[in-house]
Structure 1
Amino acid sequence: MQSIIKNYSSIILLLIGISIGSLVGLFLPAVVPYIKPLGDIFLNLLFVAVIPLLFFAISSAVANIEGNNRLGRILTTMSFVFIITIAIAAILTILGLWAFPVTAVSDGQGMDEALINAANDSWGDKIVRFVTVGEFVNLLSRQNILAFVIFSFLVGISVRKSGEIGTPFLRFLIAGNEVMKNMLDIVMKLGPIGLGAYFAYQVHELGAELFGFYAKPLAFYYIFGTVFFFTMFSLYAFIARGKRGVPLFWKNNITPSLTALSTCSSLATLPSNLLAAKKIGVPSGVANVVIPLGNTLYKNGSAISSILKIYVAFSILEWNFFEPSTLFMAVGITLLVSMVAGGIPNGGFIGEMLMISVYNIPNEAIPAIMIIGALVDPPATVLNATGDTIASMLVTRFSGEKFLQIDDQNQDNGTI
């Protein structure tokens, strides 16, 4: 019991903060204008933190990759596996929401003038605006976050090409990444107060029906996520290693699943994932590359929740989620969210900041996105973390590497 309370303490505190905020919004409406600034401060701190955190996380990860032929082949295959399977998760979620709508979606007449003007831009203008900026200083704005992600990747590649002379800068990136993770942890400790204050404002503005609003989206995630977990992961295991792959995966996936569920951290599940991959027969040379990188870059649970959060935000704002360009962009954002969610508790908040920035989502929809993210954290972490083992199996299959027999594993040194 103490272990559960410890591991879920952040979610429990967040729920307490939301509950108190809800009661304040219902029964003490006069207090709401005085506590709403606390919510604004919390959101502003997150917006300020997102840019440096993205830079250090992405550039240090790319710079740390050491290249040669075998590693290049594994990384190339890994990239295809990550992109294709995350896209599959996003598309299946969209189809699920289309077949089983969980909130009312309007005809899009609620779009504000800025969104209408943006919709009139040509695709060429949209691409230029999303991936580049005209001045370096503009990279530091969250409005240009896609361009900043690309810049961070280029910095990481440049550090690799700089060789030994770039080593001090690499150490700076690694240290900066650790510092910003700690900063995020500090900011997130304010979550119960910040989101509680914002939730009080929403309850005051929208009334008691707000509680019913979250029930259907959460039910959709838990049901859809469970079906996806057992169905798609079994299919991937079969594709990777035939009939033998399915029972091998599920037999060795029990411990990682329970670890992910109890800790709500992909990073904490990493050791048990590596052990599971070894027992399944994934060569350590593949597992030691794919699983650690997948810990940060590969998030099935985040992909599903990303689509759901965008859908919910659009419902609140009465925007048309099922417009083709919106769906196309949602899949693209989902791929990016999977890369920046990270392997730390509450890392999904960074991905939420990304989608908020890209869609220019107004403040009134932001707490709903973040609250849903917190409430689906346990099943999302299971999908995120255990998906790394599945990915390592698929990479082994498609990269030309060979699965090892149990007796062979002691001879595999994992050298790349």
Structure 2
Amino acid sequence: MSKITAKSVLKSYKSMIFLIIGITIGCIIGLVYGEKAKVLEPFGQIFLNFMFTAVVPLVFFSLSSSIAKMSNMKRLGKILSNTIAIFFITGIIASIFIIAVVTAIPPAEGVSIDMGVYEESSQMNMLDQVVKALSVSDFNLILSRNAMLPLIIFAMTFGYCISYVSKKRGLINNPVVDVLDICSDALMKMINIIMLYAPVGLGAYFASLIGTYGSELLGAYTKAVVMFFPICIFYFLLAFTAYAYYAGGVKGVKLFYKYIFPAVITSLATQSSIATLPTNLAGTKKMGVPDDIADIVLPLGATIHMDGTALTTLMKIAFLFGIFNMQFSGLGVWATAIALSVMSGVVMSGIPGGGMMGSLIIVGFYGFNTEVIPIIVTIGLLTDAIATMINATGDAVAAMMVTKRVEGKNWVDKIYDEQNIEVEVTI
């Protein structure tokens, strides 16, 4: 096997290096010029708009073509059942993890803010939220990043129907499948072109974010924000390493960390799982996840798999309980909080700044005084980036685990052979 040289490393990571340089320059500009750096936000918004414009058709064509090409519908059922099970299990693990942390270290302990007395009001109708999350009232509404779950359901059903009709008519090579496949590849190429602008776009976006919110780290909620970042980093390193190890042992861990960082950087910059989806798809497929698994797990995960949202939502709830001197303890309280965090993730996922809307859901659900909204919204803004990073990278490692369940435990060995990877890397 050939050794990995410094030149080959530079070539492999050239795009990521340019991304880091652009973001670093943006951060410096934000720190130096403060709120004046917000003038650069339109350059970052252009990048986001390009990504959002391409991501909806990308999800539709990649998902529908993958399912339409499946000759074995049992494989589809196996992928979906394992995906939902893994999403559920990892979500519960994330929730238990953060509940244990905020119980041991209450985020609002020592914070003295007079927000009046808590008065319980009527709770939000969660069934209405479920209806809005799963469906839209008209076809044109499905062509929006705000309706990703209905789009995914439509694309999967459409792909299945194409496959069914092809078999019924005895078609070996269905031209419709070829069209879907070509469109999927073309959109991936378009994403690659858009990513050439990423160092400028993400750098400008970071300059605006740092310039606008950097000073907000000072205040009564500093403790909650500051403790949340190491919590997420610790969860990322502990849980995702364990998940990658489950998926492929030591080799699986190496593959995960080799290809995950472009998704880490994009998610931190855009604060959107949907905007990170193209980068995540490319990286996950390099990890060796089969196309049909990646094309199903990642779009679905960007909509309903929200480990990071669970972490931040439960942190906010615990913080508000502390402000109003309420006990954040007991199975009933925890179960309600977990259910709310999951619902917030499904409804608000994929939206930049979606953590802000999630904060409003929390306040409305529990009936907290509206005076807490600026505090809880600021916590959401400051933690949304790293929470989104957990969401997006969690989808990638979930795809690896699904691959193991579908392809067998030796799937990672095939990838090492195909990519000519050595266990010991020499620079």
Q: What is the TM-score with the length of structure 2 in the denominator?
A: 0.60
The whole-number CA distance in structure 2 between the counterparts of 1:342 and 1:7 is: 26
Deviation of residue 73 (structure 1)? 2.7
1:72-111 map, 5 Å: 72-104=77-109
Alignment equivalent of 1:373, drawn from 377, 380, 389: 380
Q: Is the 8 A contact 1:236 1:394 kept in 2?
A: yes
Deviation of residue 2 (structure 1)? 10
Q: Is the 8 A contact 1:78 1:391 kept in 2?
A: yes
Q: Deviations over 1:273-318 (max 9, x none)?
A: 1122112111110001111121222222211111111111112222
| Alignment-derived partner of residue 240 in structure 2 | 233
* 2:297 is aligned with 1:290: yes
* 2:336 is aligned with 1:345: no
1:102-121 map, 5 Å: 102-104=107-109, 112=118, 114=120
1:23-34 map, 5 Å: none
What is the one-letter code of the residue matched to 2:143? I
What is the one-letter code of the residue matched to 1:174? L
1:274-353 map, 5 Å: 274-353=281-360
| Alignment-derived partner of residue 130 in structure 2 | 150
The whole-number CA distance in structure 1 between the counterparts of 2:416 and 2:252 is: 17
1:235-250 map, 5 Å: 235-250=242-257
The whole-number CA distance in structure 1 between the counterparts of 2:110 and 2:405 is: 41
Assess, with a 3 A threshold, how the Cα gap between structure 1 residues 177 and 211 changes in structure 2: closer, same or farther.
Answer: closer
Deviation of residue 377 (structure 1)? 2.4
Q: Is the 8 A contact 2:360 2:377 kept in 1?
A: no
* 2:405 is aligned with 1:398: yes
Alignment equivalent of 1:361, drawn from 368, 372, 381: 368
Assess, with a 3 A threshold, how the Cα gap between structure 1 residues 279 and 178 changes in structure 2: closer, same or farther.
Answer: closer
Give the SS at the match of 2:220: helix
The whole-number CA distance in structure 2 between the counterparts of 1:6 and 1:263 is: 16
Give the SS at the match of 1:376: helix
What is the RMSD computed on CA atoms of the aligned residues? 3.8
The whole-number CA distance in structure 2 between the counterparts of 1:338 and 1:283 is: 26
Assess, with a 3 A threshold, how the Cα gap between structure 1 residues 357 and 400 changes in structure 2: closer, same or farther.
Answer: farther
Give the SS at the match of 1:325: helix
Q: Deviations over 1:79-109 (max 9, x none)?
A: 1111211121111011011122232399xxx
The whole-number CA distance in structure 2 between the counterparts of 1:230 and 1:357 is: 34
The whole-number CA distance in structure 1 between the counterparts of 2:327 and 2:110 is: 6
What is the one-letter code of the residue matched to 1:97? V
| Alignment-derived partner of residue 139 in structure 2 | 170
Q: Is the 8 A contact 2:313 2:341 kept in 1?
A: yes
Q: Is the 8 A contact 1:266 1:381 kept in 2?
A: yes
What is the one-letter code of the residue matched to 1:100? I
| Alignment-derived partner of residue 37 in structure 1 | none
Q: Deviations over 1:223-247 (max 9, x none)?
A: 1111111111100001111221111
| Alignment-derived partner of residue 253 in structure 1 | 260
What is the one-letter code of the residue matched to 2:81? T
- Deviation beyond 6 Å, 4+ runs, structure 1: 5-9, 64-67, 407-410
Q: What is the TM-score with the length of structure 1 in the denominator?
A: 0.61
Assess, with a 3 A threshold, how the Cα gap between structure 1 residues 324 and 176 changes in structure 2: closer, same or farther.
Answer: closer
Aligned length: 298
Deviation of residue 375 (structure 1)? 0.7
What is the one-letter code of the residue matched to 2:299? P
Give the SS at the match of 2:221: helix
Q: Is the 8 A contact 1:278 1:409 kept in 2?
A: no
The whole-number CA distance in structure 2 between the counterparts of 1:374 and 1:154 is: 26
Q: Deviations over 1:101-137 (max 9, x none)?
A: 232399xxx874646xx8xxxxxxxxxxxxxxxxxxx
Identity %: 32
Q: Which moved more, 1:69-78 or 1:320-329?
A: 69-78
Q: Deviations over 1:311-368 (max 9, x none)?
A: 1111222222224321111111121122123223112223223322322222022221
Alignment equivalent of 2:225, drawn from 218, 225, 231: 218
Deviation of residue 76 (structure 1)? 2.1
Assess, with a 3 A threshold, how the Cα gap between structure 1 residues 16 and 281 changes in structure 2: closer, same or farther.
Answer: same
Assess, with a 3 A threshold, how the Cα gap between structure 1 residues 85 and 393 changes in structure 2: closer, same or farther.
Answer: same
Q: Is the 8 A contact 2:312 2:387 kept in 1?
A: yes
Q: Is the 8 A contact 1:105 1:320 kept in 2?
A: no
Assess, with a 3 A threshold, how the Cα gap between structure 1 residues 4 and 101 changes in structure 2: closer, same or farther.
Answer: same
